Amino acid sequence: MLAVLGVLALAAYPWVFRSNYAINVGFLILFAAYLGQTWNIAGGFAGQTSFGHVVFFGVGAYTSTILQTAYGMNPWIAWPFAALAGAFTGWLIGVLSYRAGLKGSYFALITLAVAEVGRVVANSLPITRGGLGILVRADHRAANFQFKDPIWFYYLALALCLLAMLIVWRLTRTRFGARLAAIRENEDAAQALGIDSFREKVKCLTLSGGLCGAGGTVYVQKYLYLDPSIAFGVDKSVEMLLVTMIGGAGTVLGPLIGSGVLHVVGEITRDLGNSLPGVSNAQPLSIIVYGAVLIAIVAWLPDGLMGLFSRRSKDARRA
Amino acid sequence: MLEVRALSKSFGGLAAVDRVSLDVGHDEIVALIGPNGAGKTTLFACIAGFIEADAGSVRFLGSDITGLPPHRICARGIARTFQITQPFARLSVLENVMVGAYHTTRVRRDAADRAEEVAWQLGLGPQLDMRADALTLAGRKRLELARALATRPKLLLLDEVMAGLNPLEVEDVVAMVRAIRAGGVVVLLIEHVMQAVVSLARRVYVLSNGRIIANGSPAAIAADPGVIEAYLGHGAAARLQRGGLHA
């Protein structure tokens, strides 16, 4: 019931706030929530904290974009290839690092390093046009995966976001999800109970990478430009991690709520400096306020904003 | 059912498990006792695949399982508990046990039914919705047992499931282990609580400094001079025989 209302509200949003600005902010919220959700599958559910999730996004983005610009493939058809490339990257990173027994912070560092490698490689290869980046020729037709009206990208992001939430919701109710949670909580105990943790972790990272890679295509089709720092920038990895942690890792709604809160706070603090007399440079101030909000959330809500709800409902049950 | 032959494992120069052989038959509860540091837990870890043995073999139901990874060994029908309880801390008791139950089914409903059944059997019924890290020690020990049992094992390796419990709680667990045995599961248990060993096991192996120094009925073991010395120190058996131990 609440879920239906929520979906309706999200679907109605662009009809209530009709400015392009509002719709673009809405897109950014949903898109970051989607990417966050792909991080959530690995980091939130299986406890495989990645600091370089952007690598899947970047590989997917470059795959579909190169297929499109260099080989003339229709971007809709190139899209699944982006997902496949992301999934393959996830599989490869998983096999290599889990075979080597890398866990926790070591795994996080490996993903961070792989994303950096991606950036360096994209910067130097002719096929990615190095630091110049790739411009996708503007040709606004739906058949061409380009929409003149930003509302379509909003709905596309909404659809992806809902799909990812559905997948994550399934994780909370299936054996695969239960096994990932077990691995997250205690890998030795999970293995003692018959779980092939290597296999499950690789499967999880493949799924996460595939979804994240599909996101890359959407981003390029909206902004029609891709360069190495967009494709493999640390900031995007951090954003995926942040929206999920703020909202609540390992929950279905966490990334969406986290993304909403972060973007709204970001948009508000961006204008803050301008309204304060005597502050000439707005940028540092807004970052300070933004940072303070983050610290406050992390300090008081270690389980994220969703923790607030579960804590309350638990209190209600006890009463 | 379980045949361990000349199993050895050294850490550095120390032989934690030294050419250990033991057998567990098809319808028994066998106990493994020994002073602290004797190598009991290491032996368990070798059998269950958590530590690779340097030499020796483990056969289960006639096939060689030496060196298989833990999940494969679980698939063969051996489940273990951990001496230091390893709950899935932030999952509920039900979810914890369901992870074990999912071993034999992929259907959520079936796993939940199996988990509830096992949890009630082990007295965890009232705590099904409680988070595992909110359980008392006794609760956690039972949770270890419940999760392992939910995988429908043929052989259960219990590593000190009664340590730290009060006598009443021990009695409860003893009754549960007996019920598990009656349900057709063979049990090999490491235990310090002699009350439990005596009332459960017909056969006892004694491990000391990595070696099996005795095996037999609990009564025979208790009278064995070698065992007494292993626990109480060199010459203790002779002093006991002379009439009382004056330390």
Mean residue pLDDT across chain A: 88
Q: Which domains does chain B have, with CATH numbers?
A: 2-216 (3.40.50.300)
pLDDT bin (cut points 50, 70, 90) of residue A312 is low
pLDDT at residue A282 above 60?
A: no
Query: What confidence score (pLDDT) does residue A281 get?
Result: 55
Any domain includes A314: no
Q: What is the mean pLDDT of residues A51-78?
A: 93
Query: What confidence score (pLDDT) does residue B153 get?
Result: 95
Any domain includes A313: no
| Yes or no, beta carbons of A192 and B82 under 8 Å apart | yes
Chain B interface includes A203 (CB < 8 A): no
Torsion of CA B120, B125, B128, B131, to 10 degrees: -110
Query: What confidence score (pLDDT) does residue A274 get?
Result: 59
Task: Name the least confident of A58-67, A125-134, B222-231, B236-245.
Answer: B236-245
Tell me how close the Cα of A178 comes to any Cα of chain B, in angstroms: 6
DSSP A207: H
Using an 8 Å Cβ cutoff, are B161 and B141 in contact? yes
Measured distance CA(B206)–CA(B29) in Å, rounded: 15
Task: Name the least confident of A106-110, A117-121, A305-309.
Answer: A305-309
Give tens-digit pLDDT for B45-64: 999 999 999 999 999 999 99
- Measured between CB atoms, which of B79, B80, B88 is closest to A185? B88
Query: What confidence score (pLDDT) does residue A318 get?
Result: 45
Give tens-digit pLDDT for A5-15: 888 888 888 88
Any domain includes A167: yes
pLDDT bin (cut points 50, 70, 90) of residue A223 is very high
Q: What is the mean pLDDT of residues A18-38?
A: 92
Query: What confidence score (pLDDT) does residue B247 get?
Result: 46
Query: What confidence score (pLDDT) does residue B46 get?
Result: 94
Number of A to B CB contacts under 8 A, please give it: 77
Query: What confidence score (pLDDT) does residue A198 get?
Result: 96
Measured distance CA(B230)–CA(A196) in Å, rounded: 39
Instruction: Tell me how many domains chain A contains.
Output: 1
Global ipTM = 0.88
Q: What is the mean pLDDT of residues B33-42?
A: 89
Any domain includes A114: yes
| CATH number of domain containing A153 | 1.10.3470
Is pTM beyond 0.90? Reply is no
- Helix or strand run (H / E) with residue A91: helix A75-99
- Give A-chain residues touching B148 at CB under 8 angstroms: 192-193
Chain A interface includes B95 (CB < 8 A): yes
DSSP A131: G
Tell me how close the Cα of B50 comes to any Cα of chain A, in angstroms: 8
CA distances in angstroms from A58 to A82, A85, B168, B200, listed in the order given: 9, 10, 61, 61
Any domain includes A316: no
Chain A window 128-187: which residues touch B at a Cβ cutoff of 8 Å?
A: 173-175, 178-179, 181-182, 185-186
Chain A interface includes B98 (CB < 8 A): yes
The burial class, CB within 10 Å (0-12 / 13-18 / 19+), for A316 is exposed
Any domain includes A130: yes
| Yes or no, beta carbons of B102 and A191 under 8 Å apart | no
- Measured between CB atoms, which of A175, A188, A197 is closest to B102? A175
Q: Which residue matches tokens 């406890």? A: A47
User: Which has the higher per-residue pLDDT, A223 or A294?
Assistant: A223
Torsion of CA A317, B121, B43, B206, to 10 degrees: 130
Q: What is the mean pLDDT of residues A58-64?
A: 95
User: Which has the higher per-residue pLDDT, A43 or B238?
Assistant: A43
Closest by alpha carbon to B142, among B104, B184, B93, B78?
B93
Tell me how close the Cα of B43 comes to any Cα of chain A, in angstroms: 15
Q: Domain limits at A81?
A: 2-305
Measured distance CA(B13)–CA(B8) in Å, rounded: 12
